């Protein structure tokens, strides 16, 4: 019995030490005409198994949503269905989305609304930057370090080490899917994560929560992608070289198209449809 208690306590401690990897959606559902709260309105996150219903105050919340953009559907008998598209869910953040439903007379119609990201986020008390997978696709970077060097307050020394807010490179904590991945030897990241694998990258440079208690100057929190319900993949290839006739630069007087090249690819899809998926990539 004592051993069982220790095992349960250890599991709880590991759970508390992991960083956030999901977000939360909450809001208030009301009647469009009277403004009264609607009780029992269904809220569904499209293409997932997540959903809930509003309580007696018209409020709802959905936990453990993987970061990304989602379509949220509100439906209730006697009211028009409301669909809100492009709702952005971020790690360690509560997204508030209110809904006002109009009454249905004879034949109801769907109302589609596109969500817009607010310029000022009142629930964020820490200094942070977030880079989504969509933003990574258009950035001229090949490695995670290239992304981090573009963020405010981060510099890179001659040896390649990253420094946040003037601190040592060993004072930055790295998290991958909520698991600490800081190298105990040099303070860097102990595993290499390809840019194609990242769903969202969170850079916290100040006033971080107690869950990052071991961090001194900042936190790099990465959440990887999940596989989809369909088999998808891509391959990316580039090659080139640098050349110049200027004699001040050595070994640049010839051109070879294979001197600098990169090949990357990924593949994802279902293993057991609706239950188990995979996502793999390499470069």
pLDDT for the residue 169: 79
- Tens-place pLDDT, residues 34-66: 999 999 999 999 988 899 999 999 999 999 898
- Would you kindly state where each structural domain of the chain is located, as residue ranges? 2-114, 127-224, 232-282
Give yes or no on whether 2-114 and 127-224 have one common fold. Answer: no
Please state which CATH number belongs to domain 2-114. 2.60.40.1120
* CB-count exposure of residue 211 (10 Å: 0-12, 13-18, 19+): middle
| CATH label, 127-224, candidates 1.10.580.10, 2.170.130.10, 3.30.565.10, 2.40.30.10 | 2.170.130.10
Q: CB under 8 Å to 205, separation ≥6 — which residues?
A: 127, 128, 129, 151, 152, 153, 154, 164, 165, 217, 218
Provide the percentage of residues in the chain whose pLDDT is more than 90.
19
- Tens-place pLDDT, residues 75-129: 998 888 999 998 989 888 889 999 999 887 655 566 677 766 665 555 555 677 8
- Tens-place pLDDT, residues 178-197: 888 888 777 778 788 888 88
Q: CB under 8 Å to 32, separation ≥6 — which residues?
A: 100, 101, 102, 103
């Amino acid at each position: 019995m004592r051993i069982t208690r220790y095992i349960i306590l250890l599991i709880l401690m590991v759970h508390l030490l992991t960083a956030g990897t999901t977000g939360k959606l909450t809001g208030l559902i009301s009647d469009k005409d009277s403004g009264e709260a609607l009780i029992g309105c269904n809220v569904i996150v499209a293409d997932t198994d997540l959903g809930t219903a509003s309580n007696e105050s018209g409020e709802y919340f959905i936990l453990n949503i993987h970061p990304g953009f989602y379509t949220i559907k509100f439906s209730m008998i006697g009211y028009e269905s409301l669909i809100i598209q492009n709702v952005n869910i971020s790690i360690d953040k509560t997204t508030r989305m209110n809904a006002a439903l109009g009454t249905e007379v004879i034949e109801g119609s769907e109302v589609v609304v596109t969500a817009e990201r607010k310029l000022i986020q009142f629930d964020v008390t820490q200094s942070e930057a977030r880079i989504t997978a969509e933003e990574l696709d258009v950035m001229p970077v090949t490695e995670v370090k290239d992304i981090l060097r573009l963020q405010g307050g981060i510099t890179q020394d001659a040896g390649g080490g990253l420094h946040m807010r003037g601190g040592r490179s060993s004072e930055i904590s790295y998290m991958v899917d909520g698991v600490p991945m800081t190298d105990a030897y040099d303070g860097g990241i102990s595993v290499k994560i390809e840019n194609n694998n990242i769903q969202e990258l969170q850079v916290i440079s100040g006033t971080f929560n107690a869950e990052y208690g071991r961090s001194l100057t900042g936190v790099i929190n990465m959440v990887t992608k999940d596989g989809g319900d369909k088999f998808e993949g891509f391959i990316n290839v580039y090659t080139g070289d640098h050349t110049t006739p200027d004699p001040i630069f050595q070994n640049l007087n010839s051109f070879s198209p294979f001197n600098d090249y990169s090949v990357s690819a990924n593949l994802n899809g279902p293993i057991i449809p609706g239950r188990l998926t995979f996502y793999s990539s390499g470069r």
